[in-house]
Amino acid sequence: MRNVLLLCRIGLSGAMLVIATPAFAAGSPSDPLNSVMWDMLREQYFAGAPVVFDNAVKVTAPAAAEDTRAVPISVDATALGRVVEMVAIADLNPFPLVLRYHPGTAAPYIATRIKIQQATAVRGAARTDDGVWHVSGVLVDAAGGGCSAPPTSYAQKDWADHVGEVQARLWPADPDGAARLRLRIRHPNDTGLVDGIPAYFVETLQIDAQTPGGSPVLARIDSLEPVSENPVYSLDLRPPPDATALVLHGRDNQGGEIRATIPMPPRGAKPAMSPGPSAQPWSVGQ
């Protein structure tokens, strides 16, 4: 365990060396979370784009991580209206960027589980039509190890028998027209930071609707190393009324293909329970 931690720290300082050169962006608002990484991350992920700290983006995560290999987070930007792209970032991870979400026609909401390396700011950002990134975040306290500890599947001999298997459920649309989709994909999602275990993680996911007239794309996720083993994603999609099924297709970084057809919810099913972030007792306020 000590070795594992050391490895991650080396990774982190290496990253700092590489990116230490850019100057502080002029006029950048100061980070409400006071993270040492902010200026660097801003330059790396939002370079050239206007950035505002905006509590209209709701980020939820536990105040303290119980399992650093699977910390539930959600980013909800529905208050902003039309959103083109969303990102989730864990500042002090060896790989800070968790995922990029292209909501397409879906509501700008995504939830997943991530690995975190140590106590860190966890951020969500949403880019609106006008090109502005709206950023907010919360602090998550944690003991170290999430990114570089081997996933539990490393001990299971049969991970290869199930890799790429998908469990999915689609609920009927709520009154706003958003239908909750929850996906779980069997995958080790290895970061490559553990000695002897190559990077092996889900990279792209796309959800299409199957309709008589074609297969429009509903949403797309570029997923990265920090997403937890056996990744779980919750999305609020808007399938067209004539959709007969949803189709998930994706790939991992080694070319492994992920395919699933997700049936429409049965007649009479109720929409998913989706309380707003304020109703969740474990969420951390802005």
Partner 1 sequence: MKRLVTSLALAASLTAFSATGVLAADAGGPSSDDLLKSATNTEAVLTYGMGPQAQRFSPLTDLNADTVKKLVPVWSFSFGGEKQRGQEAQPIIYDGTIYVTGSYSRLYAVDARTGHKKWEYNHRLPDGIMPCCDVVNRGAAIYKDKIYFATLDARLVALNRETGKVVWNKKLQDYKEGYSNTAAPLIIDGKIITGNSGGEFGVIGMVEARDAETGELVWQRPTIEGNVGTLNGKESTVTGKTNASWPGDMYKTGGGATWLGGTYDPETKTLFFGTGNPAPWNSHLRPGDNLYTSSTLAINPDNGEIKWHYQTTPHDGWDFDGVNEFVSFDLKKDGKVVKAGGKADRNGFFYVIDRTNGKLINASPFVTKITWAKGIDIETGRPIYIDDNRPGAPATADAHDAKGKSVFAAPAFLGAKNWMPMAYNPQTELFYVPANEWGMDIWNEPITYKKGAAYLGAGFTIKPLYDDYIGALRAVDPKTGKIVWEYKNPAPLWGGVLTTAGNLVFTGTPEGYLKAFDAKSGQEVWKFQTGSGVVGSPVTWKMDGEQYVAVVSGWGGAVPLWGGDVAKLVKDINQGGSLWVFKLPKA
Question: Closest separation between CB of residue 108 and partner 1, Å?
Answer: 13
Q: Are 142 and 118 in contact (CB under 8 A)?
A: yes
Q: Are 49 and 127 in contact (CB under 8 A)?
A: yes
Distance CA 214, CA 66 (A): 44
Binding residues (CB under 8 A) for partner 1: these are 82, 84, 102, 104-105, 157, 159-160, 188, 190, 192, 195-200, 204, 206, 216-218, 220, 251, 253-257
Question: Closest separation between CB of residue 258 and partner 1, Å?
Answer: 11
Q: Which of residues 31 and 252 has its CB atom nearest to partner 1 in the complex?
A: 252
104's tokens: 């397409």
Q: Which of residues 102 and 169 has its CB atom nearest to partner 1 in the complex?
A: 102
Q: Which of residues 120 and 189 has its CB atom nearest to partner 1 in the complex?
A: 189
Question: Closest separation between CB of residue 50 and partner 1, Å?
Answer: 21
Q: Which of residues 93 and 253 has its CB atom nearest to partner 1 in the complex?
A: 253
Q: Which of residues 11 and 188 has its CB atom nearest to partner 1 in the complex?
A: 188
For residue 21, CA distances in Å to 18, 24, 48, 117, 190 come to 8, 9, 16, 24, 30
Strand partners, 11: none
Q: Which residues of 30-57 are buried (b: 16+ CB within 10 A; e: fewer)?
A: ebebebebbbbbbbebbeeeebebbebb
Question: Closest separation between CB of residue 118 and partner 1, Å?
Answer: 25
Question: Closest separation between CB of residue 16 and partner 1, Å?
Answer: 21
